[in-house]
Structure 1
């Protein structure tokens, strides 16, 4: 799926309720089922035939036993990790979406971030329950959430939310501000990813599939409503 960054500017017409429900089902829910199947299948493969990969475990051990862990990095990565916390993601999404609604008066555009994190969370929670992967056998700097290690919910949520923000930021007219906001939005999921590895909460594949989940959900949300090309 290619990213049409200007699709919402070319066609600003309001959809009917029927169009909204139809497009949400066909362009978000249907593809999300396929995404869910892919992530679960990959999880079974990782925990089955590919289980116990020494190369993957080495990443967590290197971060724990090497010189990477310091008091400063412990504090820094705690802040980065919290950017992917459920309450932070939901709160940020709500505030930004309300501001966008106030500025544009277009609810069908303002709901894009909410669609992205909702689909991501659904895929993540059910996949984590089905796969049930244990967290890395290293010292953990955060209390373990009730969900399993695979895929990373923090990374998936941060990727889905901030990638949609990056798409939306392309409407900013001032070039320097547009570039700054886009850079920050792309950087946040990377910081969350590193933090979750550093703090011993996820395997490398958990993070990578979390990124995949977030990217696909952001793309589905961005294209959730049919728009005219002319």
Structure 2
């Protein structure tokens, strides 16, 4: 067993509420604040010295010129699985299933922590950066938030990568591999869909992926677990 991936199986001791709150602050939100600074700094770099990356609009226009009814429908589905409502519903369902199977509430909250931390960083950083959306026709009504970073991409990355980590408990090797690969591919499909539909530029999607990946890792690692004897 890998100490990081299986940390909640290797150490099943029940933490106190005080320990959980301490670790959430020190091991999730504190490094999350560092991530926020890096995202905002990158956003200011993109919208400032880099001149809003003028080459990006070429990618969006290339995709706009190649839109078809088939890909419009496909990207609509993948864009949907990254919406706030879908992610919240999936997170709640995952929490209930994990708690039911493990009876470890401190483990069951991991998906919520990953999604919430990502959302907090996304919402506040997008307000501060305030990047305009790409100058192309959009297939969806633009959310009130600005373009940088991509919220759909960040939320889907944080959620589906958490599912990929949970999938490592599947005992059947083929099923485990299939579920893991699918969970890792969904955020990429969501990010590509947001590009195709004109909602974001490449930099927005890349930073959304980074936000989701880091928040997933921070949430999964938030609680101190003793796995030294398993190494």
TM-score bucket (shorter structure): over 0.9
Cα deviation for residue 52 of structure 1 reads 3.5
2:166 is matched with 168
TM-score scaled by length of structure 1: 0.96
Written as runs of structure 1 = structure 2, the 5 A alignment for 1:55-204 is 55-65=55-65, 68-204=66-202
1:48 is matched with 48
1:18 is matched with 18
Cα deviation for residue 54 of structure 1 reads 3.0
Deviation readout 1:28-82 (Å, 9 max, x if unpaired) = 01001000000000000000011242321111011012xx210011011000101
Q: In the alignment, is the contact (CA less than 8 A) between 2:3 and 2:10 conserved in 1? A: no
Q: Which runs of 5+ in 2 are unaligned?
A: none
What secondary structure, in the 3-state scheme, does the structure 1 residue paired with 2:142 have? coil
2:37 is matched with 37
TM-score scaled by length of structure 2: 0.96
When structure 1 is superposed on structure 2, of 141-150 and 44-53 the one drifting more is: 44-53
2:223 is matched with 225
Q: Which runs of 5+ in 1 are unaligned?
A: none
Structure 2 CA distance for partners of 1:8 and 1:82, relative to 1, 3 Å: same
What is the number of equivalent residue pairs in this alignment?
227
Q: Distance in 2 between matches of 1:14 and 1:48?
A: 48
Structure 2 CA distance for partners of 1:129 and 1:52, relative to 1, 3 Å: closer
Q: In the alignment, is the contact (CA less than 8 A) between 2:129 and 2:148 conserved in 1? A: yes
What secondary structure, in the 3-state scheme, does the structure 2 residue paired with 1:54 have? coil
